[in-house]
Chains A and B, each alone.
Chain A
Amino acid sequence: MPAPVVTGISPKEGTPGTKVTIRGENLGQSQSDILGVAICNKNCSMTADWISSSKIVCRTSTGVGKGDIIVMTRSGGTGTSTVHFTGIELKKVGPLESCPIWVDETEYVDQRLGRAQKSKVLSLRTDPLGLNSEEAGNKTQTRMQLAELFVRGSPDPTDENFVPSWYLVERHATTPFSKLKDGHAYMKRRANRNTNNAPLNHVKDSLPVFFEVHETLSGIHHRMVKDDLGSDEGNVTERLEETLNEASGRANKLFDTVLSCKDRADSIRNTLNVLQRFKFLFNLPLNIERNIQRGDYGVVINDYEKAKSLFSDTDVSVFKKVYDEVERRVSDFREQLKREVKELPSPLHRQKMLIRYLLGLGDASDPAWDCLAHQHQWIQECMMRCKDQHLKRAIKFAEQGDDQSRVKVNQDYLEELTRIAVSQVPEHWNLWQHYSTGVILSETGEKISDVEKLKQVASKHSKQMKGLLRDTVILFVNLLRAVFLPATLCVDDDDDVTERQSYGVWPNEEPLPAQISSDCVHVIRQALSGLSQLNLPHGTLTSLHDIIHDMRVLSLNSFLLEATQEIRSLRLKETWNVNNKGITKLPSQLSTVLTELVVVVRHVLMSLPGEESIFARVAVQSKITQLLTDLFVACVTCFEETSFFEETESDALPEGLPPLEKRLLVGMSNLSFSWTTFVLTHLEQFQQLGFPNVEKCRQVCEEAFVELDEKLLSAYLEHRLEPLISGLEQGMYVGGFDWNDCLKPTGVRPYIKCALMKIITIHAEVFAVCSGMVSRILTSVVESVADELLRLVQCIDQISANGAMQCRVDIEAMEQVTSIFKSPQSQKSFEEALNAVPRLSNNSERRTLDDLLNIFKSIMMFQLNRFQP
């Protein structure tokens, strides 16, 4: 803003104290913008009243003569003026005269005392020129004219302004010049005489005067004596005295009222002057009150500073009284501000402003630090209050058994708490930074010394501040731990139950659902990233890092556990719909679960920069390894339990549960399919994700798979072979058959056919489930059959040639038919069985035997098709 220019003054001259209206341009933007007003080089700032930027009203000070009117503003600097004010000196002020300004009456001696009455005793009896002057007739008119001619003078020779010319013109206008010359000589003579023996001459000259005086004095004396004698009572002087006293008393009585009026007038005027001059101070208490109400705190502070510098060490009791009042109001105001500062939440700039006001008001304490401490407490209270509210709701829901709402409350709580931390801690920290750098006092770099002082004070608190911040973060972390990680919530003193309880005992099941802990990690991470942008002191956020790590481990644990759980529950979902590869839906469901797990876990494992890897700690490593192993073992268990579905659980038996044998077969098929298709892949994926000791896990898992596979196979064989094997012996001796006494063989005996039919049935069953398993299972079956045949053959006591023939036909038929499923063991068993039978005696028998076998094969062609390679 440009400098102020004064272009108008009303009025343009006057005595000190004249109220003048100053007009011009840029005369400030507000009362507080006015730094000063000077008229004729005299400061009039005290009375300056800002009306508008083009108008100021003030009273002139004691400046005398023509001078400039200078307005100085904060915004425009020192101004100029195009008009001038003429100060008129105030000569004196009478005691009963009204006067608009403060008059120091000690400076103005009462002029009446000094006013000497001119003595008129000496009168001119004679003309000093010794001439008989006749005065002019038209005297008055000439005198008027003369008076105009000789402005400053007097025709009277006794006057000090005596003007000889005037005297001559007045008295001797018509006197001839020669006479005047004579007169001059006469005067000279007289003057000479006077100088020679002046005293004597004077006495001589004045002798008649002395006589006159003497006569008068004698007359007075005479009359006094006469009065004295003539009076009734006492001396004349006594009566005179009495009369004088009476007169004085009466005079006093008469003037008492006037005098007291005058005194009062004086005092009122003084008071008025004082009031006028120190209007600022006297109005201050009221102004402060008004400005506070209006919210102009800045003005209050300015006024207070002004008053403080002017009146803080005043000795005048009136000022003291008023100043005390001001102080009281200001201290009330301070209290009010302090209360306002403690009203939270409030935006940072408002707090700063309030603190600046408090500092501006010269608050002796350290309001910024108080505010910080209070804010810290408030944040903690907020968090605790938040905890209490949510805990109450959670307990209510827990009582009602409404798990979903209870979990929701947990999430709400987490979000609310984080919101508090993320919104309030930065405010807190910013306030501190403003405080510690002194910005709070002045944003523009003014008041450097004050700022330095403030910085010093602040630096004392820096350690405490760090402590406060850490406390807040720890409280935040502990509250979160209390909900989500109650086991890890460590209290300083284990016996101190109240402290543990203060963080809240939540009615949560253990462990939390994994998704929640994962979300929780996400939210806390956001909080951390928000807080770490603040450049908080080192070490403040350590506990936050810890809880994030713990939460991540927890969520990983939970995910693994949940997956395990889900896998366990999958068996109930088995539909037994076998596809063409002999696989049911179970493996694909398992695979889906594992794939999902991998995705989720990958997400959990992703560490943000600066975060510790989950597997960095050994305790975590072993725990996770165990969980992972459990997970895969659970897969095995799932297959096992699905296949060996106990009848005792028949309540929940699903419709269309296939017979045990089929279930075993399907189980085996699923198992091998799972192992080959996805289990290994998933294990590899976990290894890639950085899971520790996956190899060990794989070994355990493989063992479990192999074990279950064998268990299923043996169970199946047990179920299927038992009737087959027992049928062999029964069929062999059915109808009292005796090897020693039998007819010449006409074909393969029925028990072999029966056994073959049963094998074919098994084959069909296995083939129907999974063709891939046919050879493996039938090989085992053939082995068992060969074994049994061997046992039966070895058990024959006696055998005839026909019997031997028959037996050989039977065994060879069996051997040849099942040849594609032969194994070394079955081969060996068949050979031993054949060796146990007596040899054929000749080639014709051999031929007969081959014929019988051929007939058998041709008869059974359709049935035996199965066994063709």
Chain B
Amino acid sequence: MSANKKQNAGLTSLHKVIMVGSGGVGKSALTLQFMYDEFVEDYEPTKADSYRKKVVLDGEDAQIDILDTAGQEDYAAIRDNYFRSGEGFLCVFSITDSSSFDDTQDFRDQILRVKGVDSSTAGSIPFLLVGNKSDLENNRQVSQSDAQQLAEKMGVMYVETSAKTRNNVDKVFYDLMRMIKQEKAKADVSDETVDKAKTGCSCTLF
């Protein structure tokens, strides 16, 4: 099993990121800006989009797989399945829309439920709270301190981004990938300790 893991590590690792958040907060815009350096002006509700690309993360080749989900309530039912497959989450709200900020708590709860963790182990889920549309400072409805407070309550990091100006876009994706990578490393270590325990036993037998 450990051999397998090492082989996998030799290949490029794949980090699965899920974009969550209410409709129209700019999940797709963030994704397209990150993927293709492209800012899409016209709004077309997403159903479920999939993107994958090669990145260099801390000097290592890696692949990021982004699942851009639907924000609209119509699609709430199918979210569970998507959340199950995700390794990290960017929970996006719009700083110009306070209701989208209010929704973030629900998304957080849904993720924790699907992942089967309670608030004590919630820290093992890579999760970033993202306040998008920071370029529209004039229309701000969610103050930075409110968001920061919520993030602290959740035990996560809060970052403000702008898909339009590309401000912090790379940062949120790369930060999240690093978190995913750390979590994976932890899991490997725990796996290996199990392995070692086993091999240790067999050693003592001989």
Contact = CB atoms under 8 A, between A and B. Distances in A.
Interface of A: 7-14, 21, 23, 54, 82-84
Contacts of A23: 32, 35-36, 51
Contacts of B52: 7-8, 82-83
A8 B51 contact: yes
**Pairs of residues from A and B, 10 with the lowest C-beta to C-beta distance, nearest first:** A10-B49, A11-B47, A12-B50, A82-B52, A8-B51, A83-B50, A7-B53, A83-B52, A11-B48, A12-B48
Given A8-B35, A8-B36, A54-B38, A84 B47 contact: no
B38 A12 contact: no
Given A23-B35, A23-B36, A82-B63, A9 B53 contact: no
Contacts of B51: 7-9, 23, 83
A84 B52 CA distance: 10
Q: Of residues B28, B49, B50, B52, which shows the largest number of chain A Cβ atoms within 10 Å of its Cβ?
A: B50
Nearest to A20: B49
Interface in B42-67: 46-53, 63, 65, 67
B133 to A, nearest CB: 21
Contacts of B46: 10-11
Contacts of A83: 50-52, 65
A9 B65 CA distance: 12
B47 A8 contact: no
A394 B48 CA distance: 85
B18 to A, nearest CB: 13
Contacts of A9: 49-51
B68 interface: yes
Contacts of A13: 47-48
Contacts of A21: 49
B36 A84 contact: no
Contacts, number: 46
Nearest to B28: A10
29 contacts: A7-B51, A7-B52, A7-B53, A8-B32, A8-B35, A8-B36, A8-B49, A8-B51, A9-B49, A9-B50, A9-B51, A10-B46, A10-B50, A10-B68, A11-B46, A11-B48, A11-B49, A12-B48, A12-B50, A12-B67, A21-B49, A23-B32, A23-B35, A23-B36, A23-B51, A82-B53, A83-B51, A83-B65, A84-B50
Contacts of B68: 10
B35 A12 contact: no
A762 B53 CA distance: 125
A262 to B, nearest CB: 28
Given A8-B52, A9-B49, 13 more contacts: A7-B35, A7-B53, A8-B32, A8-B49, A8-B51, A10-B47, A10-B68, A12-B67, A14-B47, A23-B32, A54-B38, A83-B51, A84-B50
Contacts of B35: 7-8, 23
A581 B109 CA distance: 135
Contacts of A7: 35, 51-53
A564 B55 CA distance: 96
Nearest to A18: B47
Interface of B: 28, 32, 35-36, 38, 46-53, 63, 65, 67-68
A422 to B, nearest CB: 56
B111 to A, nearest CB: 20
Nearest to A69: B50
A770 B84 CA distance: 135
A612 B62 CA distance: 82
Contacts of B48: 11-13
A7 B32 CA distance: 11
Contacts of A54: 36, 38
A869 B63 CA distance: 130
Nearest to A85: B50
A515 B51 CA distance: 83
B165 to A, nearest CB: 20
Q: Of residues A7, A10, A11, A83, which shows the largest number of chain B Cβ atoms within 10 Å of its Cβ?
A: A10
A11 to B, nearest CB: 4
Contacts of B50: 8-10, 12, 83-84
A84 B65 CA distance: 11
A10 B48 CA distance: 7
A118 to B, nearest CB: 30
A12 B48 CA distance: 6
Nearest to A5: B53
Contacts of A14: 47
Nearest to B51: A8
B84 to A, nearest CB: 16
A84 B49 CA distance: 10
B43 to A, nearest CB: 13
Nearest to B31: A8
Contacts of A8: 32, 35-36, 49-52
A8 B37 CA distance: 13
B32 to A, nearest CB: 8
A28 to B, nearest CB: 16
Nearest to A19: B44
Contacts of A82: 52-53, 63
A69 to B, nearest CB: 10
B85 to A, nearest CB: 12
A83 B52 CA distance: 6
A12 B28 CA distance: 13
Nearest to A14: B47
A596 to B, nearest CB: 81
B53 A12 contact: no
A859 B131 CA distance: 151
Contacts of B36: 8, 23, 54
B54 to A, nearest CB: 8
A664 B97 CA distance: 129
Contacts of A10: 28, 46-47, 49-50, 68
A220 B52 CA distance: 74
A13 B52 CA distance: 15
B180 to A, nearest CB: 18
Contacts of B49: 8-12, 21
A83 B28 CA distance: 16
A83 B65 CA distance: 8
Nearest to B37: A54
Nearest to A82: B52
A21 B48 CA distance: 12
Nearest to A12: B50
A14 to B, nearest CB: 7
Contacts of A84: 50
Q: Of residues B48, B49, B63, B65, which shows the largest number of chain A Cβ atoms within 10 Å of its Cβ?
A: B49
A9 B28 CA distance: 12
A12 B66 CA distance: 11
B42 to A, nearest CB: 12
Nearest to A8: B51
A7 B67 CA distance: 12
Contacts of B63: 82
B204 to A, nearest CB: 47
Contacts of B47: 10-11, 13-14
A13 B49 CA distance: 8
B79 to A, nearest CB: 14
A14 B49 CA distance: 11
Nearest to A7: B53
Contacts of B67: 12
A31 B46 CA distance: 26
A801 to B, nearest CB: 152
Contacts of B32: 8, 23
A708 B189 CA distance: 134
A24 to B, nearest CB: 9
A741 B47 CA distance: 169
Nearest to B78: A13
A594 B30 CA distance: 97
Nearest to B70: A11
A84 B67 CA distance: 11
Contacts of A11: 46-49
B51 to A, nearest CB: 4
B177 to A, nearest CB: 16
A775 B36 CA distance: 118
